Amino acid sequence: MSTCPYSQQKDAKLRMSEQECKRYKHNEPATNSSAHLCANCSRAESNSASRMPHEQVHNKNTAKEGIFVVNPVSLVQSPNFVTDIPLWQPVTLHNYNLIYGNITHSILQPNLYPNYFHRPGQENHRQVHNFAKTYNDGEASINSLRHWEKLMNENTMPGFNFTVMSYNVLAQDLLDQHMYLYASHKKESLKWHNRWKNLMSEIRHFKPDILCLQEVQKSHLETHFAVLEQLGYKGLYKQRTGARTDGCAIYYKHNVLQLVEYTTVEYNQPNVRILDRDNVAIIAKFSPIKFPTRKFVVATTHLLYNPRRQDVRLAQIQLLLTEVDRIAYNPESGYYVPVIVTGDLNSTPKSAVYKFITEGKLQYENLSSRSLTSDESGPKTGKKFLPAFLRITDQCQHANLLPTRQNNANISRTEELRLIELKHSERKNRQNDRYNMDEDDKKLFSSGILTHRLALKSVYEHGVDGNEEGTTFQNEWISVDYIFFSHPQSDVDQVILLERYRLPTKAELGDLRIPNGQLGSDHFSLVAKFQLQI
């Protein structure tokens, strides 16, 4: 019989007792002197640091998907824990201080990672201790994973500092209509009065100067969201079109910011098949009370959910950026004021929508007609994306307003609205017949390439070092919520990212489900601190 390697540890603290050694029965290796054969399953096993005790494997409660830990970084700080020895070893009861906040657990093996969270309402079949189940279904641990990340020292330059929060708050009507999505959640966590308490607790904690919300139920505006007025906010709201009961909202602290102007966008346009959904957006221009000559634009939106219709989301973003271009353009300087775009885009960082926003360019010709990928068979997109009669160019600008820009003319917003061709339920527009495109029009509307001039960058660095963040759960944890901000285009009116509130990674989230007893939505909030240079 081979001697169990754990009994050979020279360090008395790590040496296994003879009785403990008997728990591991190994035969002589068949082919390799560094491998042993398990007497229970006859499986060859090396004496590596990642080896797992076979009693864990044979235990009837072991999870089918396995519990091997692949992260080499220790999450436990203890004088009895050494990283250069095999991690799987028996331990006695000790207090191991986790790096997550001040949480302490007294019966946690040092080699177990709190990457795996319990699914509320379901039995946990893992043999290993489940960190999140112990601490209120993972709420304490998740909160400790989120903290401020400082990116620039705000004291190095003068300016106006402000905080932006974007949050899909999950309309209760939508939750009730899709209860099957929350079958594993605790019922108490899904009730509106409990969720509202948690949502407001989070908003009160961050005290954002600008609060961008999605899925705000219209019937809750007066009964619940009106409390924001008592906290010093004024609000803008745009309900989704059709029979939808929710919409988007922007709240701002009126003692800090002056609302200069705002507009709303309806993505449902008549006679345009790719734009037949009821999603909406709000665009607002603000100026700081203390610096009234400085302006910046904030927009929020909630794009179509359907995972198969990337083309619809791209068309919606084209409309949004076209209207942002109109509101943010400064005819006096020829530049754009700083822009911040927030919302639930239902698009991942690998999508064509995200690429278009952050890179400012997307060749859409010859992509699959719905998923907008180049590796799928089936119908492909052509050179024309949106119909010319909308007068939305491939550069995300209103074609009818280009002559005034070229002539450096400054026309009123009322005149602009009269000229643009987008349909809006709250105003009358000039609706022209379909255009017969000439060669110049083809360059504007049928180039095969979409571009925009807003130079947008995401607040979060998605997937750095392979650590992708998660903002919501859709069969898996994914990122679909964003805050984008514009790069500097001139020496003045720059907006600079100072700090961001960290998002947890997919590995850290594991089986956690939200909403729960502490988090009020099925999305995480996004929070960032900016500085508008003066």
150 has a pLDDT exceeding 70: yes
**274 confidence band (pLDDT: 50, 70, 90):** very high
List the alpha helices (DSSP H) in 236-383.
Answer: 310-328, 352-359
Looking at residues 476-495, what average pLDDT do you find? 85
Looking at residues 284-312, what average pLDDT do you find? 96
Q: Using CA atoms, how far apart are residues 227 and 478, in angstroms rounded to an integer?
A: 32
Check residue 172 and give its pLDDT: 98
Check residue 95 and give its pLDDT: 35
Which of 112-121, 152-161, 491-500 comes out lowest in average pLDDT? 112-121
Q: Using CA atoms, how far apart are residues 26 and 29, in angstroms rounded to an integer?
A: 8
Q: What is the pLDDT of residues 185-201, one digit of tens each?
A: 999 999 999 999 999 99
**435 confidence band (pLDDT: 50, 70, 90):** low
Residue in 136, 116, 134, 140 with CA at minimum distance from that of residue 126: 116
**115 confidence band (pLDDT: 50, 70, 90):** very low
Q: What is the pLDDT of residues 8-31, one digit of tens each?
A: 444 444 444 444 444 433 433 444
Looking at residues 427-451, what average pLDDT do you find? 68
Looking at residues 232-236, what average pLDDT do you find? 98
Q: Using CA atoms, how far apart are residues 432 and 400, in angstroms rounded to an integer?
A: 12
For domain 146-533, give its CATH number from 1.10.1660.10, 3.40.50.300, 3.40.50.800, 3.60.10.10.
3.60.10.10
Check residue 373 and give its pLDDT: 83
For 218-276, the DSSP string reads TTHIIIIITHHHHTTEEEEEEE-STT--EEEEEEEETTTEEEEEEEEEE---TT-GGG-
Please answer whether residues 395 and 321 qualify as being in contact, where contact means their C-beta atoms are separated by less than 8 angstroms: no
Q: Could you tell me the residue ranges of all domains in the chain? A: 146-533
Please answer whether residues 376 and 368 qualify as being in contact, where contact means their C-beta atoms are separated by less than 8 angstroms: yes
33 has a pLDDT exceeding 50: no
Looking at residues 304-324, what average pLDDT do you find? 96
